[in-house]
Amino acid sequence: MKDLFNTTIMPREAIKCYEYYPDGKKVRTFNSLAEVRKKHYSSIKGKHPIFDSRQYRDFPIFKILPNGNVLFKEVAGRDKAKYAYKLHNSDLLFLPNEQGQRLQMLNLQHEVIAEFASFRIAYKILKIPQATIWGSLQETSTPKNDFYFKYKEF
């Protein structure tokens, strides 16, 4: 029978990380996540997850560092680094963990004027207060404006 108490535990292999400027130029290569923590997250003591589980479809996992640079777990190149920075700063994309429930904008004759992929995208495009949209969604009486919102029924 195998002795479970005297087995040696193999250390985990270090994960290399690559830092890029927002314009795509490579800054440096880190030999492990510990080096990244030491350089960019020195105020946080103990283990701290650097990469979150949110991912964009068909795109490598990345993290925007506190200094604005982009960190990848793999060699990304100039184009991917620029695109990652653009993805992170775009207001019109679904967030990776966002459940988009389609939103319709209707006129007073109940005709659909516009349709949006989510609440957040609607208020970003229309540049109207979130409270206006939210209030319209909650109201069951006559709309206060020339339009109102409702969730699309499937």
How do residues 123-142 score in pLDDT, each as one tens digit? Answer: 888 888 888 888 888 766 66
Could you tell me which residues are beta bridge partners of residue 150? 104
Q: Which residues of the chain have pLDDT under 70?
A: 1-7, 48, 52-58, 91-100, 139-143, 154
**pLDDT at position 18:** 94
- Helices 119-126, 130-138: inter-axial angle, 10-degree rounding: 130
Q: What is the DSSP string of 8-71?
A: PPPPPPPPPEEEE-TTS-EEEEESSHHHHHHHH-TTS-S----S-S---TTS--EEE-TTS-EE
Whole-model pTM: value is 0.58
For 33-54, what is each residue's pLDDT tens digit?
A: 889 888 888 887 777 677 766 6
